[in-house]
């Protein structure tokens, strides 16, 4: 492509370069691909407001709407032609305005919803085209042991307190910056010689650790966002806050300071993580204070000796929120109030730490969790700040690093798996090849699978948290049955819904055999596209050898296809236009022909470029079998439009109309496919094509005229434009392609329905029901030697002592993120699962459970909050753990629509054999 150097100022202040929207899109795509192929630490990215960027995407004809939230903060955006955007405007994501020399981002913004990240080269090109700003550069860092690349959108913000005058300054550095960098920044800011400065970790305004200038990073030093650090300056041989005195004047114990990663000291000085002395002189750092009245976890390690619970208040300590860490606190409180987990970690578990397991975290996660649990159970009601645990979490699971909200269930799954691998008693896992069931008794196969599993996995987590379910797969072609018995750590239950919505969809015939017809069907409100396809298929009497292709139409073009049967109907907005194309299954493997239409009066056409004509009418879709030239496309277009031919322009009466009316319309309007192909092409038009047709790209900009004998390069999906003139308008009744009904029109008189309530057993039934696998999750049939869309059935076989239910309130698709606030009625006591357990051997214990903890999620996706309800088994009382705040709560209050993860423990069978409340009696309630 050729881009001229000249340009001129536009009214909006930007510099217009002679680039078409398509050229801009291609340049940005090429630069982005190049940057993504060369990822490395230190690469520069720029933050751009999603509001401005989506405007640019619309202008350049790109699809929009990958990140859509149901709160309405971001609506689904449609592609299509749009005006050229003005200067880049980041004002909506900047907290302190554009005029500030150091613009800071709003803390609550999220990638995809509020902002996008573009490589430095892309920013420079966009800025050259549009100007604007402010510029918001951010560096790429590698996070965790896995060295996972991510852009550090929010650098670490520290509040520096000068002990000399109590003044406060803000210091912003990357969490990957070293303590050397911190000293350099602070000393330059305050005009202090490095040899006379000492900086303290001043978390919660309490001295914790003297920070020695070294290569240790701020992240490794457990410094948190928005925490305080304290500067002391040596004046006349004395420190500004007094040697050996904390900020309140209390005496401090002096403990030699050695960074945790350093095995060697040099010349008596402090040992540094890179093995080199700092050169500042060891006498500057005489000691470290571990004086944390706020329960900082890394302070005062208990070692691994057995720990006694802290009296009557044991287990009532809260966890401080370190910046959107309520998701972590909620999951942790549920785990640290799991009785067998508590008993295990309060004892000496040294011998079970597995440091060699390549699947584990060298025992460090188990040690960090154990230390945190001990702190919580021995600190009374003093809140604990889990800084060291969060540091380990960020190191081993970078997806949970930073200060964004995350999912408590995802964290729980990582913790259970990580703790298991760190405490796995199996040091060398044997290789075991599983066998097929081959008709053997289920009990024999299940025991065999469990033995194999225990031979490789044996830990406290397996002992108390892992169960086993039976998975049955049936091939739909050869009826091959495959049965396996797999372990589980928790059960993710769907939330079935009885709420419905009506949807109106226009169905088009893909072979031109009938007029389009709108159908109104009723589907589940929280259903998926598969439900809509089934309902439409029944309404339009779809035959066995046909299928429906769903598409969303926007501004007379196909915006996107709804080809994923699992896509949620919630992604389809009420005011959208959805159409269905009725096609033969055989045609699915042929060339798909997408037909769009455009029209302007001839007097206007003479003065316009071809690409400037506007689209109109609904696009049509058909399939071509072994197409060769333009005449094949012309015949397909004629066939598709044949039902719309006006009576006065029908061929001679000798044409065979096929006998029976199609779709309830008169045979005088609709000739058969065969008659139209022979009569129109040969008798009426001779060697000329029926229509003015051209092939085009996705945006309809690049057009190449088609002639009868012109060879056409056919792709899997071939797009063409049909130009309508006054002649076509006179010959065809286009009204059927003009006005599409909206999917659903909400009336003002619609009454709000009562909040839907379902039982936990309904969720369990939905989880265990037989259903076909999705097209992206097909099973390889060993008999057919092909992947098949098999049916799958799950059954519970072996239940653990601790049973965790995850209620799937969050649903994600490419186009929608949604949360279900459905109230789930769950038993607190006497949850009887006997009817669900298929094992005939009930000797392993009762199947009755009682609730002891709940992880709750309040609010929506954009800014929700987590808390936990936990029961102290010893005193039989419930408490609400809301970060640092802990308060008693009555049992009647713990059932809410916020319940997200439920924790049950097995109840041993009573001597009288009482089995507790049954699922049937609970359903009736």
Catalytic amino acids?
326, 865
DSSP assignment of 586-605 equals GGGGSEEEEEEEEE--HHHH
Burial call 785-813: b when 16+ CB within 10 Å, e when fewer: eeebebebebbbbbbbbbbbbbbebbbeb
* Dihedral of the alpha carbons of 22, 23, 29, 33, in degrees to the nearest 10: 150
Q: Alpha-carbon distance 154 to 148, whole Å?
A: 17
* Pair 700, 81: CB distance under 8 Å: no
* Pair 529, 567: CB distance under 8 Å: yes
DSSP assignment of 317-365 equals --B--SSS-HHHHHHHHHHHT-HHHHHHHHS--GGG--SS-TTTTTTHH
Structure tokens, 423: 């405490």
Q: Which of 622, 619, 664, 615 is nearest to 515 (CA)?
A: 664
Q: Is the peptide bond before 134 cis (omega within 30 degrees of 0)?
A: yes
Q: Alpha-carbon distance 286 to 784, whole Å?
A: 74
Count Cβ atoms below 10 Å from residue 143 Cβ, excluding itself. 21
Q: Alpha-carbon distance 629 to 626, whole Å?
A: 10
Residue 313 CB burial class (10 angstroms; 0-12, 13-18, ≥19) = middle
Structure tokens, 592: 């798909």
- Cross-strand bridge partners of residue 94: 105
Burial call 72-110: b when 16+ CB within 10 Å, e when fewer: eebebbbbbbbebbbebbbeebbeeeeeeeebbbeeebb
Q: What is the DSSP letter of 653?
A: T
Q: How many residues comprise the chain?
A: 925
The number of CA neighbours under 13 Å toward the Cβ of 253 is 7
Question: Beta strand pairing status for 771-772 and 591-599?
Answer: unpaired
Residue 522 CB burial class (10 angstroms; 0-12, 13-18, ≥19) = exposed
Q: Which of 282, 193, 268 is nearest to 234 (CA)?
A: 193
Q: How far apart are the first and last CA of the chain?
A: 71
- Cross-strand bridge partners of residue 482: 473
Residue 682 CB burial class (10 angstroms; 0-12, 13-18, ≥19) = exposed
The Cα diameter of the chain in Å comes to 115
Residue 417 CB burial class (10 angstroms; 0-12, 13-18, ≥19) = middle
Q: What is the DSSP letter of 70?
A: T
Structure tokens, 80: 């299509």
Task: Tokens 């060291």: give the residue.
Answer: 388
Q: What 3-state class would DSSP assign to 459? A: coil
* C-alpha radius of gyration, the chain, whole number: 34
* Pair 790, 474: CB distance under 8 Å: yes
* Pair 506, 517: CB distance under 8 Å: yes
The number of CA neighbours under 13 Å toward the Cβ of 733 is 14
């Amino acid at each position: 492509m050729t881009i001229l150097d000249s340009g001129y100022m536009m009214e909006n202040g930007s510099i217009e370069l002679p680039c078409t929207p398509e050229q801009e899109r291609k340049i940005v795509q090429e630069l982005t691909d190049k940057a993504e192929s060369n990822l490395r630490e230190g690469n520069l990215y720029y933050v751009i407001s999603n509001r401005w960027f989506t405007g640019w995407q619309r202008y350049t004809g790109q699809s929009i709407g990958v990140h859509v939230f149901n709160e309405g903060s971001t609506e689904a955006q449609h592609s299509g032609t749009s005006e050229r955007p003005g200067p880049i405007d980041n004002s909506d994501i900047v907290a302190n305005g554009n005029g500030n020399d150091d613009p800071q981002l709003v803390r609550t913004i999220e990638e995809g919803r509020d902002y996008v990240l573009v490589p430095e080269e892309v920013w420079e090109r966009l800025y050259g085209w549009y100007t604007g700003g402010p510029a918001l550069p951010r560096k790429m860092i590698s996070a965790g042991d896995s060295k996972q690349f991510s852009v550090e959108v929010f650098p670490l913000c520290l509040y520096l307190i000068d002990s000399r005058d109590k003044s406060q300054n803000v210091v912003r550095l990357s969490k990957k910056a070293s303590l050397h960098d911190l000293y350099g920044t602070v000393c330059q800011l305050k005009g202090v010689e490095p040899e006379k400065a000492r900086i303290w970790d001043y978390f919660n305004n309490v001295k914790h650790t003297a920070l020695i200038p070294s290569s240790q990073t701020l992240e490794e030093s457990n410094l948190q966002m928005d925490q305080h650090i304290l500067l002391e300056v040596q004046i006349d041989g004395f420190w500004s806050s007094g040697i050996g005195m904390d900020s309140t004047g209390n005496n401090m114990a002096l403990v030699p300071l050695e960074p945790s990663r350093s095995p060697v000291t040099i010349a008596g000085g402090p040992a540094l993580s890179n093995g080199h002395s700092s050169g500042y002189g060891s006498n500057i750092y005489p000691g470290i204070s571990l004086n944390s009245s706020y329960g900082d976890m890394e302070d005062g390690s208990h070692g691994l000796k057995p720990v006694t619970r802290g009296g009557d208040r044991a287990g009532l300590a809260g966890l401080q929120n370190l910046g959107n860490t309520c998701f972590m606190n909620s999951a942790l409180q549920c785990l640290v109030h799991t009785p067998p987990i508590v008993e295990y970690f309060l004892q000496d578990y040294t011998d079970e730490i597995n440091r060699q397991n390549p699947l584990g975290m060298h025992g460090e996660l188990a040690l960090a969790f154990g230390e945190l649990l001990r702190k919580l159970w021995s600190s009374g009601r003093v809140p604990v700040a889990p800084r060291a645990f969060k540091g380990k979490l960020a190191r081993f699971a970078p997806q949970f690093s930073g200060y964004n909200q995350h999912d408590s269930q995802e964290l729980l799954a990582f913790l259970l798996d990580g703790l298991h691998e760190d405490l796995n008693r199996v040091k060398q896992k044997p290789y075991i090849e599983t066998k097929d069931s081959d008709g053997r008794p289920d009990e024999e196969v299940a025991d065999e699978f469990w033995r194999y599993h225990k031979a490789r996995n044996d830990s406290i987590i397996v002992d108390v948290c892992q169960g086993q379910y039976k998975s049955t797969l049936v091939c739909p072609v050869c009826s091959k049955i495959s049965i396996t018995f797999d372990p589980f750590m928790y059960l993710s239950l769907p939330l079935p819904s009885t709420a419905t919505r009506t949807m109106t969809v226009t169905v088009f015939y893909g072979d031109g055999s009938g007029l389009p017809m709108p159908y109104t069907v009723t589907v589940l409100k929280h259903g998926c596209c598969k439900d809509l396809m089934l309902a439409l298929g029944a309404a339009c009497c779809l035959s066995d050898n046909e299928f429906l292709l769903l598409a969303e139409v926007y501004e007379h073009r196909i915006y996107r296809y709804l080809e994923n049967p699992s896509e949620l109907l919630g992604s389809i907005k009420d005011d959208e236009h959805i159409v269905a194309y009725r096609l033969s299954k055989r045609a699915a493997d042929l060339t798909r022909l997408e037909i769009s239409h455009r029209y302007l009066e001839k007097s206007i056409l003479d003065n316009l470029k071809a690409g400037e004509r506007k689209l109109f009418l609904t696009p049509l879709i058909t399939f071509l079998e072994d197409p060769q030239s333009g005449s094949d496309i012309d015949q397909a277009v004629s066939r598709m439009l044949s039902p719309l031919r006006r009576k006065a322009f029908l061929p001679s009466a000798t044409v065979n109309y096929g006998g029976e009316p199609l779709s309830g319309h008169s045979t005088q309007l609709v000739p058969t496919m065969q008659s139209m192909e022979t009569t129109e092409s040969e008798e009426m038009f001779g060697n000329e094509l029926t229509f003015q047709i051209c092939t085009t790209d996705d945006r309809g900009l690049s057009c190449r005229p088609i002639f009868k004998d012109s060879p056409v390069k056919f792709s899997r999906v071939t797009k063409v434009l049909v130009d309508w003139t006054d002649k076509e308008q006179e010959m065809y009744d286009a009204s059927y392609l003009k006005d599409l009904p909206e999917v659903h029109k909400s009336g003002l008189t619609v009454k709000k329905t009562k909040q839907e309530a379902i039982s936990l057993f309904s969720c369990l039934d939905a989880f265990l029901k037989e259903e076909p696998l999705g097209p992206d999750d097909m099973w390889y049939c060993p008999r057919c030697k092909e992947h098949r869309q098999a049916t799958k059935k799950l059954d519970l076989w072996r239940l653990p002592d601790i049973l965790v239910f995850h209620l799937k309130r969050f649903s994600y698709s490419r186009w929608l993120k949604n949360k279900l606030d459905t109230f789930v009625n769950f038993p607190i006591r006497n949850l009887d699962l006997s009817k669900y357990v298929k094992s005939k051997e009930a000797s392993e214990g009762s199947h009755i459970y009682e609730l002891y903890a709940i992880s709750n999620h309040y609010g929506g996706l954009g800014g929700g909050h987590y808390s936990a309800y936990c029961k102290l088994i010893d005193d039989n009382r419930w408490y609400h753990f809301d970060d640092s705040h802990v308060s008693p709560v009555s049992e009647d209050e713990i059932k809410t629509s916020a319940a997200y993860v439920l924790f049950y423990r097995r109840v041993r069978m009573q001597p009288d054999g009482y089995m507790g409340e049954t699922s049937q009696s609970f359903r009736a309630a």
